Amino acid sequence: MPEVDSMRFPAQPIDRLESTQADRTAAAIRDLAYELAGATDRNLAVDVLVYATGLAEYETSDLRSYAARHGLSPEGFRKQVIALQRRLGLPPRARQVRHDN
């Protein structure tokens, strides 16, 4: 998907390219869509996204449950979460600051 790649990695930070909140929101949505569209295992990609954004805190599933669901070790799942957070510029979740780093 070369056309998507060109949108994904702008030459300058988004805040310098796009000045309005709507443009930044559109860029964030584009980045999320890129992550999900490029995933070979979309179920895993969605679970990583849910966990990385903190939405998982509203469920009863923990990191081990998410990892087991996909046949991964907890460490393997956690690494995917951290990589996604870095790619999307998401802050670490509160528990990650204490336990994961």
Residue 96 pLDDT level (bands cut at 50, 70, 90): low
Residue 20 pLDDT level (bands cut at 50, 70, 90): confident
Euclidean distance between CA atoms 51 and 85, whole angstroms: 10
| pLDDT attached to residue 76 | 97
pLDDT surpassing 50 at residue 101: no
Residue 100 pLDDT level (bands cut at 50, 70, 90): very low
Torsion over CA: 80, 85, 86, 87 (sign): positive
Torsion over CA: 84, 41, 24, 18 (sign): positive
| pLDDT attached to residue 1 | 39
Which tens digits make up the pLDDT trace of 26-81? 888 899 999 999 999 999 999 999 999 888 777 777 899 999 999 999 999 999 99
| pLDDT attached to residue 14 | 52
